[in-house]
Structure 1
């Protein structure tokens, strides 16, 4: 005889009825305010010899339940993993055991008991006390199929974390990456600082900002696109080594590499240049990779990335010559650069200069070829409004970007500290804004004033933490390494 199907709503109705019965009997789980936890599942399993025969107390979510009449086996999942508990009727009062029999998968429980091994060799806890700490009124996804729908996983990350243990591991690694990054810089004498997220001027990077409004001041403000200009003011003020880890916001397209808000680290060091920044950037990535993975080889998308070897350093001009066959050292005029760009089907805008066109060639022909860690150096001045010019090649700057697996991971330069040159570059950015480029920087008069007081020779670097986490966890999308990625609203 077939068992009639019960709808999910009907199952949820049954769970709510169980909750009402508990409340009527004076055992409302939501009235429990505290439970003493002495151990976690992984620690008990890893150190069985130490805990065998001893009493422990754990708490977590029921993930499996196997009823055998006068006894039951359940697996309880806590923040470190799962452990089995053996619950026998003769170890509990009749009332408590009867109540336990009604517990559901997903319920959060406290278990106290003696550590032992079953005949099959599984480390378990023989319960002498069970307590319902929170009632789950929803049904968890079916055990063997899990939660596979990526849309649901991103929107309901809490559910994703419950049923997909590897997701939790990704975020534990993310936390470790940030912690070790701090340790590395602290050991170098850097200090961590905080600067405002609300800015009165959008600057510090080429990006479209989010605009908000401050009611009391009756003025528009911007969510920061970068902390750069604030941090450089601190160097002017006498702090020689500073860094900040925090959220930045860019009102741009979304993709597997881009989220409107993301986390980056920016650091600045007085009396240093972009070569020093290359050394620090390479050092951070090598150090963090070893701490997180225990080795210097990263396996990403079936490709081995060698972090141990010295990172290659090559100019943008040389890369374009290598992959596009175009030598910009031989191109003297904008007209010639424009003609070559059109021959290569590149879209040239009216405001583009020769350096902009060089960058178009780089993005089309070279960027995705940079799989192993590569510092692309000496960017054209047109796309580097905050970078110091090269002494022997004033059309280019002391700037680099780090590429791994064809993606930019870091951007750095010898900071422009000439207030006269900086004003001229801000003016060009202002002209671009007037021409319709809403990613161009505004003129920041206070920053120019700070430069006039004197910014020492300084190196600065910004590194995208989300992309580094993607690399070290073999994540295909930035959404996989953000707890709560930005999603389109679901219409009710």
Structure 2
């Protein structure tokens, strides 16, 4: 018999409390809540993302959003103030104890901030939510470290100077073997996820900042770190919670990076969805100086409740 029962009853009230707490956090700071479409005619070209395709009965095709980033930036280019959204998003190829192909994403943009200032606001948001209940877990401290410095100190390699073969050798030295071959960025991601992050203290937040430009298509280049871009990721223990940028505003750099991503997708044999031209047009019109971040709400709830699987906080997981 099919088990029809929803699966995360103990987390339902906590999810409702968290969503209310997130909205209260932004209301207190005067950040405007917005809504954007789930369905789009185009999709991001980022090789690390796979969009779900949708087809109408008449044959028309669209793509379910991997994040609300593109339309939210169009709002900013149109003069919107600081904005946030709690959105349902969809990503292919992401299923497992910490992944569900459909999940809840909190995304927000702050005018006049850089990625360092926005990372500090993410830390403040997490602390604010953890304080909602004496039964919820709270992180104990936060450490920020540059991406390049982390690789040098833990693996003895400079991510800007190394190549795929060298990274594969380093991975093997740490017991990581991946069949099928990866390019340089694939190895960098694998080493972060499977070798470096598991060593982060489980009760601490860790901020990695200034990622290689090849992994930051929509972040502006770092003025003081050639080859790197103003991106950060925030981890709670070994679990990635948030990904943010000091946003790229130069349309020429955006086009150059997009073409690079398209070439990578083609070389890897990945699908090539239609380009969403609206973001490029918005950049041409003028995106204000701002920083933006996306935070996984389900993963944050996992950490607050001290559970290890995403299906413990989602009533209807895909599986």
State the TM-score, normalized to the length of structure 2.
Answer: 0.89
Corresponding position of 1:203: 44
Shift in Å, 1:475: 1.7
1:471 to 300, 303, 316: 303
Question: Cα distance 1:400–1:477, how it changes in 2: closer, same or farther (>3 A)?
Answer: same
Shift in Å, 1:379: 0.7
Does the CA contact (< 8 Å) of 1:432 and 1:440 recur in 2?
no
- Aligned equivalents of 2:241, 2:21: Cα separation in 1: 17
Shift in Å, 1:208: 1.2
Q: Which runs of 5+ in 1 are unaligned?
A: 1-150, 161-166, 299-304, 488-492
- Rg: which structure is higher? 1
Shift in Å, 1:412: 0.4
Corresponding position of 2:91: 250
Shift in Å, 1:359: 3.8
The DSSP-based 3-state class of the residue aligned with 1:484 is coil
Shift in Å, 1:168: 3.8
Corresponding position of 1:456: 288
Superposed CA RMSD = 2.5
What count of residue pairs does the alignment treat as equivalent? 311
2:149 to 301, 310, 318: 318
Shift in Å, 1:272: 1.6
Does the CA contact (< 8 Å) of 2:45 and 2:261 recur in 1?
no
Shift in Å, 1:395: 0.8
Q: Select between 430-439 and 240-249 the one with higher mean Cα deviation.
A: 430-439
Question: Cα distance 1:451–1:445, how it changes in 2: closer, same or farther (>3 A)?
Answer: same
Does the CA contact (< 8 Å) of 2:45 and 2:272 recur in 1?
no
Shift in Å, 1:195: 0.4
Question: Cα distance 1:460–1:416, how it changes in 2: closer, same or farther (>3 A)?
Answer: same
Corresponding position of 2:75: 234
- Aligned equivalents of 1:240, 1:380: Cα separation in 2: 29
More contact order relative to length (CA 8 Å, sep ≥ 6): 2
- Aligned equivalents of 2:105, 2:225: Cα separation in 1: 30
Corresponding position of 2:258: 426
- Aligned equivalents of 1:342, 1:351: Cα separation in 2: 8
- Aligned equivalents of 1:418, 1:389: Cα separation in 2: 10
Q: Which runs of 5+ in 2 are unaligned?
A: none
Corresponding position of 1:363: 193
Question: Cα distance 1:326–1:439, how it changes in 2: closer, same or farther (>3 A)?
Answer: farther
- Aligned equivalents of 1:439, 1:409: Cα separation in 2: 27
What is the CA deviation profile of residues 336-367 of structure 1, one whole-angstrom value per residue up to 9, with x for unaligned ones? 533422322365988835x5554443334211
What is the CA deviation profile of residues 236-293 of structure 1, one whole-angstrom value per residue up to 9, with x for unaligned ones? 0101211110210112142110111000100012222111211210111000000133
Is residue 343 of structure 1 aligned with residue 169 of structure 2? yes
Shift in Å, 1:204: 7.9
